[in-house]
Amino acid sequence: MINFCCEIFKSYNNQEMDRELYPNIKIIKVPPDKFNEGRNLYRYLLVCGFIKDKPPFVSMRHCPFCGTNLFEFYTSDNYINGNYDDF
């Protein structure tokens, strides 16, 4: 079972929600060739629905609900639920 920083973050990460109607959180992995070595390759996005080909989003460093540092908490490919190319 995957642990989340808080229940609200978990609910926004739900793959069952209608992604066109509701905001959702995506955790993506940036390809290594896009950044220098040694940097965290994960990105945490609050996506405001998939109305267009490239959805509007806000990049996050901390959980907006509990304040957890996302770069320290989510460091595994197990959490990835989005594709870099979608953004």
Domain ranges (residues) in the chain:
7-86
Give the model's pLDDT for residue 66. Answer: 96
Give the model's pLDDT for residue 36. Answer: 57
CA–CA dist 51, 8 (Å, integer): 23
Buried b (16+ CB within 10 A) or exposed e, 29-43: eeeeeeeeeeeebbb
The candidate with the shortest Cα–Cα distance to 62, out of 30, 25, 32, 34, is: 25
The stretches in the chain having pLDDT less than 70 are 1, 15-21, 35-39, 49-53
Give the model's pLDDT for residue 23. Answer: 82
Give the model's pLDDT for residue 35. Answer: 67
Give the model's pLDDT for residue 19. Answer: 59
Secondary structure letter of residue 82 according to DSSP = S
pTM of the model: 0.79
C-beta separation of 57 from 43 below 8 A: no
